[in-house]
Amino acid sequence: MATPSEICSQLGHRLREQRLAQSLTQTDLALRAGVSVGTIKNLESKGQSSLESLIRTVVALGLTDQLQTLFTLQTDSIAAMAQVAKAKRQRAPRRPHP
């Protein structure tokens, strides 16, 4: 398993590849995304930024569809699908008070 730091670095590298594939400079992308050039540099080199800056950058690159499957519940069986459906209809159980 990758560490959070490794995942951030990989995502930053992938964003850089997407930017270059679209023949954009960091300045061009920053202007499109409404963020600073420093934000783009941090995203690409360290994978670090605010969530909003990351989303702005993804939108500016036209990759919004890539976010659609992020954090969706995965189900492998009919029982798991039933459990997910049940979970959507009710609140999480309350914790007992000490």
Q: Is the pLDDT of residue 84 over 90?
A: no
Could you tell me which residues come within 8 angstroms of residue 27 by beta carbon, excluding any fewer than 6 positions away? 37
Higher-confidence position of 18 and 68: 18
* C-alpha closest to that of 11 among 53, 80, 74, 34: 53
Could you tell me which residues come within 8 angstroms of residue 81 by beta carbon, excluding any fewer than 6 positions away? 75
Q: Which two tokens stand for residue 82?
A: 């039933």
Higher-confidence position of 84 and 23: 23
Whole-structure pTM over 0.75, yes or no?
no
Q: How far apart, in whole angstroms, are the C-alpha atoms of residue 40 and residue 49?
A: 8
Give the chain's mean pLDDT. 87
Q: What is the mean pLDDT of residues 4-29?
A: 95
Residue 35: its pLDDT value, please?
97
- Tell me the pLDDT tens digit for each residue of 27-67: 999 999 999 999 999 999 999 999 999 999 999 999 999 88
